[in-house]
Every structure is written in structure tokens, then in C-alpha cells.
Amino acid sequence: MVKSYSIHVIGRVQGVFFRASTKEAAIKYNIHGFVRNEFDSSVYIEAEGEENNLEKFIDWCKEGPELAKVEEVKIEEEPIKNFSDFIISH
């Protein structure tokens, strides 16, 4: 079943290739949506996909790329928006 989540990642997540790595993980797990940096130095993601793939993607978000230090991940279920791919938003 397809689900949609907003994912707010807090910690040392900017300047560590988090957005580019998130896109790679999204492609790997067939996730659609977007990732963007926030003004408060966090990263915001909207992700849609099959529930089991989303679980793997969220697990990845809790670790992030090698240089990241994820301190907190906030997840909320969202209405389906039917994203067609996964982009890095600015």
C-alpha cells in the first residue's frame, strides 16, 4: 500500500551531502517526493512509496550519510500527493 510521510531530520544534516544522499536512497527504495534544507539547519523530506520501502527509507534517514549526525527524526503521515519522481528542492 502506498503511503506518504513528511520527515523532519534534525542534527548535523546540512553541508554533509544529506540531500544528495537522500535522493540516492530514494531511488534505491523507489520513493518519490523531495528533500530540502530548512533555515533552522534541519532537512525536510516528503516521501511517498510502498509502505515496506518507506520503512527502509526512514531507517536510512535516521542514520543519513557518513558525515551526518542525526539527532532526531520527526515523522508524520500525509495525504498522498502523487509525486512522479524524487527531487532536491532549493
68-78: per-residue pLDDT in tens? 999 999 999 99
Residue 37 annotated as catalytic = yes
The residue among 5, 15, 24 whose CA lies nearest residue 42 is 15
Residue 19 annotated as catalytic = yes
Mean pLDDT computed over every residue of the chain: 97
Please answer whether residues 75 and 42 qualify as being in contact, where contact means their C-beta atoms are separated by less than 8 angstroms.
Answer: no
Please give the pLDDT value at position 79.
Answer: 98
Q: Choose the catalytic residue: 12, 19, 30, 53.
A: 19
Q: Choose the catalytic residue: 30, 37, 52, 82.
A: 37
Please answer whether residues 83 and 15 qualify as being in contact, where contact means their C-beta atoms are separated by less than 8 angstroms.
Answer: no
Please give the pLDDT value at position 90.
Answer: 81
Residue 60, number of CB atoms within 10 A of its CB: 18
Q: What is the mean pLDDT of residues 51-80?
A: 97
Q: Which domains does the chain have, with CATH numbers?
A: 2-88 (3.30.70.100)
Please give the pLDDT value at position 62.
Answer: 98
